[in-house]
Amino acid sequence: MSLPHDTLLAAQQLAQLRQGFTLLARQQLPAATLGEQARSATALLQALPQRYGEVLLNLLDRLEAGALFTEESCSFSQKDLVDNLEIWATKAQAQLEKAG
């Protein structure tokens, strides 16, 4: 059984985001670049309930704001945000599988 094109594209965009989360955690990708990548993942955002997009954008906004400061001056850690992005991705994956 094959997935519809939109669902397949959404799954591909989710996989790319997950790779971006890993690169960000390794400090091999700037937060701003990940934010751009996530915001352009329109098939993924459209395939998920609206609250998923809201949560993702909130996490990315905090991540990008935090990137402007050193870890010590931030009220939240980048590691915690990356962990939350991974949790988001796991839930998004389950939502896509349920929909597909």
What is the secondary structure of 9-43 as a DSSP string? HHHHHHHHHHHHHHHHHTT-S-HHHHHHHHHT-HH
Q: What is the pLDDT of residue 79?
A: 85
Residue-level pLDDT at 28:
94
Report the pLDDT value the prediction gives residue 95, as an integer from 0 to 100.
Answer: 93
Do 45 and 57 contact (CB within 8 A), yes or no?
no
Q: What is the pLDDT of residue 2?
A: 45
d(CA 21, CA 28): 10
**Residue 49: DSSP 8-state:** -
Per-residue pLDDT of the chain (100 residues; tens, 9 = 90+): 345 668 889 999 999 999 999 999 898 999 899 999 999 999 999 999 999 999 999 999 988 887 766 555 555 677 889 999 999 999 999 999 988 6
- 3-class secondary structure, 8: helix
pTM: 0.84
How confident is the model at residue 67, as a pLDDT? 72
So what's the pLDDT on residue 78? 79
Q: What is the CA radius of gyration of the chain?
A: 14
Phi, psi of 23 (to 5 degrees): -65, -40
